[in-house]
């Protein structure tokens, strides 16, 4: 127990120091208002750092060390200690300095204070925490390195039924994409498995091979976009291991983005045409119609629907494209079997091909190429929406912690934001 006394003897409280195997020798308040708590190790012996034997021959004490600990009543606290040293009879009496369980060698903090820093870092920045805690920037980064691994800890997972693969640009406009691999657990919790340096098939396949064999049988679905590197990596991994039975699902929202862009291109073209052909008064009636076109029909307000119908009067081609888009969206909303979905999608594609429209031509090729992976969505109606949500978090981290250039750093910060409260609270 630690006694902190005021001017009067009755103005005193006792606090558990919560540091095992030590006795408190003294407590003093320095000129900066910091509590300096001097302790002495009560633990006998240590493990030889050279041979690993337990050693008990006392040699003496090492240099004084001072470790930042959890604050008390708003005051900084430092633990002051002279570690014991022991001689090893198996190594010609070479000396090993004792390290107690509550701190790490060469760390300027106790483990408890490192954990406190991790909590402060959740949804924050190193610079901000450094200022609030009055510790050096490098000291906070050092705490991250001690507390957060740079690769996944597979011991934390019992199953990987759903994994998601997506990418994000590390530097905007430079095309340097990194692949982010995640999993959604049975309770809905999303965990990051890896941040890979690129999105090549070989890189993704190499990571998949690091998954412990005990988890292979739990893998059921890989949600991804239409990037061949991801899809082929998963398929090759499954083909190489009979224990793995995993289906690739092309995310419906990536599919929707593709076909909705087709309609948006017609909207832009038609609005440019109508701006030239209509009078100012007539064009004013359809001005700002973009959001109405982009919305699903069922979500339109009465004003948006009125303006949209007016636009369709001027552009039957856009109306037809919009109708096809809504029909396709309706298919994805239906509870269909995989085979039923395939029939409906092929029927929709045939109807579009027989129309006068050409805006869907590229999407129809995409549909032909990825039909099996697209209709896999209808098996369990799984999507990589959780991956997209994580990508938004990554973008937030990049804005908040500007200057992240290493994938290991991004993995640590992403892990901390996702797991920090569960692990360190």
Domains of the chain: which residue ranges? 2-103, 154-251+383-424, 253-380
Residue 19 token pair: 């540091």
Question: What pLDDT score does 6 carry?
Answer: 46
Please count the other Cβ atoms lying within 10 Å of the Cβ belonging to residue 140: 23
Question: What pLDDT score does 174 carry?
Answer: 62
End-to-end CA distance of the chain: 23
Question: What pLDDT score does 159 carry?
Answer: 94
Residue 403: φ, ψ to 5°: 100, 5
Q: What would be the CATH architecture of the domain defined by 154-251+383-424? A: 2-Layer Sandwich (3.30)
The average pLDDT across 354-380 equals 94
> Distances from the Cα of 3 to the Cαs of 26, 35, 80, 93, 361, in angstroms?
10, 11, 16, 40, 78
pLDDT at 298 over 90: no
The number of helices, as runs of H, and strands, as runs of E, in the chain is 16, 16
pLDDT (tens digit, 9 = 90+) per residue, 52-102?
A: 999 999 999 999 999 999 999 899 999 999 999 999 999 998 999 999 999
Higher-pLDDT residue of 50, 396: 50
What pLDDT band is residue 20 in, cutting at 50, 70 and 90? very high
Percent of the chain scored above 90 by pLDDT? 71
What pLDDT band is residue 291 in, cutting at 50, 70 and 90? confident
Over the chain, what is the mean pLDDT? 90
Give the integer Cα–Cα distance in Å for 220 and 248: 9
Which residues, 6+ apart, have CB-to-CB distance to 345 below 8 Å?
Answer: 328, 331, 367, 371, 374, 375
Which residues, 6+ apart, have CB-to-CB distance to 86 below 8 Å?
Answer: 45, 46, 48, 55, 56, 57, 58, 59, 95, 96, 98
pLDDT (tens digit, 9 = 90+) per residue, 385-419?
A: 677 777 777 878 877 776 677 899 999 999 999 99
pTM of the entire structure? Answer: 0.83
What pLDDT band is residue 315 in, cutting at 50, 70 and 90? very high
pLDDT at 13 over 80: no
Question: What pLDDT score does 324 carry?
Answer: 97
pLDDT at 48 over 90: yes
pLDDT at 326 over 90: yes
**Pairing mode of beta strands 94-97, 162-169:** unpaired
Residue 314: φ, ψ to 5°: -85, -25
Question: What pLDDT score does 9 carry?
Answer: 55
Q: Which of 45, 34, 41 is nearest to 64 (CA)?
A: 41
Give the integer Cα–Cα distance in Å for 236 and 219: 14
What pLDDT band is residue 203 in, cutting at 50, 70 and 90? very high
pLDDT (tens digit, 9 = 90+) per residue, 109-154?
A: 999 999 999 999 999 999 999 999 999 999 999 999 999 999 999 9
Lowest mean pLDDT among 75-84, 191-200, 279-288, 364-373: 279-288
Percent of the chain scored above 70 by pLDDT? 95
Give the ranges where 94-171 is alpha helix by DSSP (H): 111-121, 126-133, 137-147
pLDDT at 303 over 60: yes
> Distances from the Cα of 14 to the Cαs of 2, 11, 77, 172, in angstroms?
5, 11, 15, 54
């Amino acid at each position: 127990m630690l006694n902190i006394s005021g001017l009067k003897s009755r103005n005193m409280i006792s606090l558990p120091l919560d540091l095992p195997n030590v006795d408190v020798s003294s407590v003093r308040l320095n000129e900066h208002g910091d509590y300096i708590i001097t302790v002495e190790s009560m633990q006998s012996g240590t493990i030889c750092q050279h041979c690993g034997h337990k050693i008990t021959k006392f040699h003496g004490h090492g240099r004084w060390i001072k470790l930042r600990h959890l604050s008390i009543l708003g005051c900084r606290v430092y633990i002051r200690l002279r570690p014991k040293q022991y001689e090893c009879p198996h190594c010609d009496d070479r000396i090993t300095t004792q390290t107690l369980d509550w701190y790490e060698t060469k760390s300027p903090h106790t483990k408890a204070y490192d954990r406190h820093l991790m909590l402060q870092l959740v949804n924050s920045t190193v610079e901000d925490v450094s200022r609030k805690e009055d510790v050096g920037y490098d000291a906070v980064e050092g705490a991250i390195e001690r507390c957060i691994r740079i690769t996944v800890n597979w011991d934390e997972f019992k199953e990987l039924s759903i994994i998601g693969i997506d990418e994000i640009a590390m530097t905007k406009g430079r095309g340097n994409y990194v692949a982010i691999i995640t999993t959604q657990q049975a309770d809905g919790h999303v965990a990051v498995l890896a941040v890979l340096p690129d999105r090549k098939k070989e890189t993704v396949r190499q990571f998949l091979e690091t998954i412990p064999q005990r988890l292979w049988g739990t893998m059921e679905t890989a949600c991804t976009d239409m990037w061949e590197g991801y899809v082929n990596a998963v398929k090759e991994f499954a083909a190489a291991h009979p224990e793995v039975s995993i289906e690739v699902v092309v995310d419906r929202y990536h599919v929707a983005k593709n076909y909705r862009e087709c309609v948006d291109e017609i909207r832009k073209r038609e609005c440019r045409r109508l701006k030239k052909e209509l009078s100012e008064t007539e064009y004013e009636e359809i001005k700002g119609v973009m959001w109405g076109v982009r919305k699903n029909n069922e979500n339109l307000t009465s004003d948006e629907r009125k303006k949209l119908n007016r636009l369709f009067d001027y552009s039957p081609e856009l109306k037809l494209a919009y109708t096809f888009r809504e029909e396709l969206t309706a298919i994805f909303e239906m509870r269909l079997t995989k085979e039923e979905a395939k029939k409906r999608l092929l029927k929709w594609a045939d109807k579009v091909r027989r129309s006068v429209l050409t805006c869907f031509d590229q999407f129809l090729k995409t549909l032909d190429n990825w039909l099996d992976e697209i209709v896999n969505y209808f098996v369990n109606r799984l999507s990589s929406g959780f991956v997209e949500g994580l990508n938004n978090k990554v973008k937030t981290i990049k804005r908040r912690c500007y200057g992240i250039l290493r994938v290991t750093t991004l993995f640590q910060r992403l892990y901390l934001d996702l797991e920090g409260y569960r692990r360190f609270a």
